[in-house]
Structure 1
Amino acid sequence: MHRPLLLIYAQHFEGSVQGALVMSALRYFHREVGQPQLMAWDRLDVHRSREVKDFVESRSEDFVLDEFPVYSREFNPKEGCNSQVKRSMINATHESVADLRQNVHARVVSLRRRHSALRGFFEHARLSLRGLT
């Protein structure tokens, strides 16, 4: 049985994340994917801000939002992704913040190709992908 691909996209920013950066990331994701997307978000304050909610509501044909329950690492598949990226960099050294960001980006792109691992992060979090992939 052929399964459609499950993909992960990430944007990394220095400093605290504000609404304008979240909206910039959403525009980036839309350009990269080019189809309606399910955004599975944790309850970070900026994700719940009026500015971001208004932006997403104005583009309801592009984004569907789903919030995870109150923060719990074991129920957030993003934590599996973060953990995998961190483990892959355990002995890495970086000359600069730019070098670190480039390495993180490369690890996320590599993880993007590991569809079974991505599905596993959702399964570990006891989240169903039925109907999404």
Structure 2
Amino acid sequence: MHGVAPGKTTARRTGAVVVFADETALSLLPPVRATWAPRGRTPVIRVRMGKRPKTSLVGWCCYPPTGPPRFFYRLVPGSVNDRELIRQLPGIHRALGRPIILIWDNLGSHRSRRMRAFADRTDWLTLVFLPPYAPDLNPVEGGWAHLKNGPLANLGARTLDELVGVARQGLRHIQRRPTLLNGFLAGTGLT
């Protein structure tokens, strides 16, 4: 396990893909953003009160040593824990076909005993942790901002299925645009 600095050198030496990961939650309470409306007609977002189901989302921004960046995501009912992340990592590794240098924050599930044991058992995974309280260093945060300020902004979804459908469209939009992923990385200042 390393701090942020070793990632670039290790990636170059091993041909590894630098992967940033992060989680977020989606709920029926919409992210409210500024909008335009005719004078005197304040827009109103109608949402159902009461129990608000949520789903979690794990995002993986992948920057290979050559070729375009890639973005993967997985929707997870409820909350994300270390078991779920360990379940997803081999699929990310297979899709990339190279060793992974995984850079993420200091969340408990990222530093858990189970996660460390998993990383120790694999020859293709190196864990690197961002400094505490530094979401601005993770390009996946740019993806969440793009999603929540774009397709999900002011969305008054009536069901979780509707919310997930709109989120998937926004996430596919991100997946199809490598220049957007490069912009998320450039926004961190880590290029």
TM over 0.5: yes
Alignment gaps of 5+ in structure 2? 1-65
Which of the two has greater helix per residue? 1
Which of the two has greater strand per residue? 2
Q: Could you list the per-position Cα deviations for residues 49-96 of structure 1 after superposition, in whole angstroms to 9, with x for gaps in the alignment?
A: 1101211221222x2322211122322212111000112222434342
TM-score (norm 2): 0.58
Question: Bigger shift: 78-87 or 26-35?
Answer: 26-35
Offset, 1:102: 3.2
TM-score (norm 1): 0.79
SS of corresponding position for 1:9:
strand
1:89-108 superposed matches below 5 A: 89=151, 90-108=153-171
Q: How many residues align?
A: 125
Give the one of 73, 83, 88 matched to 1:10: 73
Identity among equivalent positions (%) equals 26
1:32-71 superposed matches below 5 A: 32-61=95-124, 63-71=125-133
Partner of 2:18: none
Whole-angstrom distance in 2 between the partners of 1:93 and 1:32: 35
Alignment gaps of 5+ in structure 1? 129-133
SS of corresponding position for 1:11:
strand
Question: Bigger shift: 51-60 or 102-111?
Answer: 102-111
